[in-house]
Structure formats: C-alpha cells, structure tokens
C-alpha cells in the first residue's frame, strides 16, 4: 500500500475533476460561495469513502452483470443519509445546495471510483482512495468557489464569515464581475483551470523527458 502515491494521484496527477474530467455538473453548479464548496466537498468525501468501503467489502459477492445497479443502490443509501443529516442540522446549506445533494447519486466520480478502484482493491486501500479522491474534488471546489466568489461577488467566505454570514467584502459593491457567479462563469473558470492543469502536466512530462536524455 502506497499512501503517498495515492494522495498525490488524488490531489494532482489523477485529480477526479481536472484530469479524469468526472463530476463536472456539481463542480460548476455549486462553486459560487466558499460555504457551498466546503459543504459539498465534505459530503462527497464522506459518501465516497463509505461507498468505497462497502463496495470493496462486497466485491466478491456482487455478480458481475448487475454490479452497476448494486453500486447505485449502495451509493443512494449513503446519499440519503447525508441528505437527511444536512436537512436536520444544516438547513441553510441543504437549501443552497438544493437538488445537487440527492444528485450525488449520479455523480460520476463516485460510480467511477467504485467501478475503477473499489471493485478491484482491498478495504483499506479503497477507503484511502475515497478520502484522497474526495480531497482532490474538494480542492478544485475550493479553488473555483473562492475565485468565483471573490471576483464575481466581491466577498470571501460567504455563508460562514462576516455579518449575517454574507461574507467579508473585499471588492466594493458595483465593481465585481457578476458574470463569474452566473453559469457562464462556471464554464469559463473551470475551462481555464483544466487548461492550467494540462499546462502543468505537459511541463512536467517535458522535464522528465529532458532528464532522461
């Protein structure tokens, strides 16, 4: 078991959003405030880790032909648990994430990791994979939501910090580019972030190639 390698893969070289290009819908839709980003990230980490553990435990019992349906039922059960807990203890978060909490069921990251990793590896490795891939997803959400909130709304930490939880105002009202908070901003910022990632990965590959020569 190689913890460091798994961590590196989850956060950078095999990041679920930036490299595997999974789970785009929720990434772009909810990354408008810091609170949303953290809430969604933690929910996904919990669900991904739990479903990875259970699926890894059941991997010898689930028949191959109906495995996808079995995975979805396991995932849906954990999503329902998280959904109900959020509704009970954090109603404001549950409201602002709206339909995207139950939609974690069909988030390709979770099904993708179940199929590509948990169904082939042991319990401990699968649990670690869940945590690290979840962290990679959360990292992207944090970058996008901090950027979009700061330049689109002019605040930092909306939903948790500042007066009435409206966030700390950094750019005065009237100046921020509202466009970034709107869906268009989601597409543009996410596209730029993936381009940056491709640039970094290419540079790294070139460097490795140069070292070999």
Sort residue 154 into left (φ over 0), alpha (ψ -120 to 50) or beta.
left
Residue 192 near another protein by CB under 8 A: yes
Q: DSSP of 157-209, one letter per residue?
A: STTTSSGGG--EE-SPTT-S-GGGTSHHHHHHHHHHHHHHHHHHHHHHHHHHH
The CA distance from 52 to 46, in Å, is 10
Are 15 and 197 within 8 A, CB to CB? yes
Least distance from another protein to the Cβ atom of residue 1, Å: 30
Of 2, 5, 80, 206, the one binding another protein (CB under 8 A) is 80
Least distance from another protein to the Cβ atom of residue 56, Å: 20
Size of interface with another protein, in residues (CB under 8 A): 42
Nearer to another protein, 128 or 185 (CB): 185
The CA distance from 19 to 16, in Å, is 6
Of 34, 105, 140, 144, the one binding another protein (CB under 8 A) is 105
Least distance from another protein to the Cβ atom of residue 84, Å: 6
Site stretch for another protein (CB under 8 A), options 40-48, 50-58, 105-113, 143-151: 105-113
Chain mean position to CA 35: 14
The CA distance from 188 to 197, in Å, is 14
Nearer to another protein, 34 or 105 (CB): 105
Give burial (CB, 10 Å; 0-12/13-18/19+) of 75. buried
Least distance from another protein to the Cβ atom of residue 171, Å: 22
Residue 186 near another protein by CB under 8 A: yes
Are 142 and 128 within 8 A, CB to CB? no
Binding mask 15-34 for another protein (x = CB under 8 A): ------xx-xxx-xx-----
CB atoms within 10 A of CB 205: 10
Nearer to another protein, 125 or 176 (CB): 176
Residue 58 near another protein by CB under 8 A: no
Chain mean position to CA 181: 18
Residues at the interface with another protein (CB under 8 A): 21-22, 24-26, 28-29, 68-69, 72-73, 76-77, 79-80, 83-84, 98-99, 102-103, 105-108, 111, 182-188, 190-192, 194-196, 198-199, 202
């Amino acid at each position: 078991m190689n913890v460091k390698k798994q961590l590196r893969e989850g956060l950078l070289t095999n990041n679920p959003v930036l490299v595997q290009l999974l789970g785009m819908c929720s990434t772009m839709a909810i990354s408008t405030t810091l609170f949303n980003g953290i809430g969604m990230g933690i929910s996904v980490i919990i669900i991904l880790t739990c479903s990875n553990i259970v699926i890894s435990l059941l991997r010898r019992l689930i028949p191959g032909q109906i495995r996808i349906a079995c995975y979805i039922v396991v995932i849906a059960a954990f999503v329902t648990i998280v959904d109900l807990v959020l509704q009970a203890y954090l109603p404001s978060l549950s409201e602002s994430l709206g339909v995207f909490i139950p939609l974690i069921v069909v988030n390709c990251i979770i099904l993708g990791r179940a199929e590509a990793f948990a169904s082939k590896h042991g319990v401990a490795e699968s649990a670690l994979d869940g945590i690290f891939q979840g962290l990679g997803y959360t990292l992207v959400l944090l970058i996008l939501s901090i950027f979009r909130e700061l330049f689109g709304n002019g605040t930092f930490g909306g939903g948790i910090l500042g007066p009435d939880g409206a966030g700390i105002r950094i750019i005065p009202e009237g100046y921020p580019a509202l466009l970034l908070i709107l869906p268009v901003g989601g597409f543009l910022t996410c596209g730029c972030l993936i381009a940056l990632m491709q640039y970094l990965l290419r540079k790294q590959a070139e460097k490795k190639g140069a070292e070999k020569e």
